[in-house]
Amino acid sequence: MKTEKEKMLAGQVYNPGQDEELMAELAACKAKCLRYNQLTTAAEKKELLKEILGQSGENCHIEPNFWCDYGWNIKVGNNFYANHNLTVLDAGGVTFGDNVFIGPDCGFYTSGHPLDAERRNTGLEYAYPITVGNNVWIGGGVRVVPGISIGDNSVIGAGSVVVKDIPANCVAAGNPCRVIREVTDDDANSDLNWKK
């Protein structure tokens, strides 16, 4: 019989409150995040971030406050920057490519719960992976729900709620987030106004 952690990692419905290992890992990660958010020196933050994350590339920086569930289920590429108040519920796994920039107050939520109250109230949840490609810019206040992929070179406008996959090379925004236009060669010479 599978443990609740094994069910979680397999993308099945599971109950984290029924798995002592998961609960211990969750508590340990929250303690590390609290410590990270209180550190003042860049060197200390860099070392603790390597301890929190499952994989981190060169030049990885996350402004406090930063919170995640397990940490070991987050993979971050090179040249990663996240502004203040990043939340990553990483039970399903979150992968960020190279050169990803994230604005303040963003959330990546791999976890969800049953729609019917009776099952939800028992503590059941599911977790589906989130993947963010290379060279992606995510504006402030963006929320990404379970099971989403955001393609390479895309831009997600501030305040968006991403509920469907976003293809590569596009600007997308809104609630729900939708593709506004493609990123073109003309953008290399633009005045940075994504609405044009």
Bridge-based pairing of strands 86-89 and 107-109 is parallel
3-class SS of residue 149: strand
3-class SS of residue 49: helix
> Would residue 84 show up in a list of annotated catalytic residues for this protein?
no
Given the residues 5, 35, 75, 113, select the one marked as catalytic: 113
Bridge-based pairing of strands 126-127 and 111-112 is antiparallel
Please report, to the nearest 10 degrees, the dihedral formed by the alpha carbons of residues 91, 83, 63, 53 taken in order: 30
The answer to whether residues 23 and 16 touch, using CB atoms and an 8 Å cutoff, is: yes
* Catalytic sites, residue numbers: 113
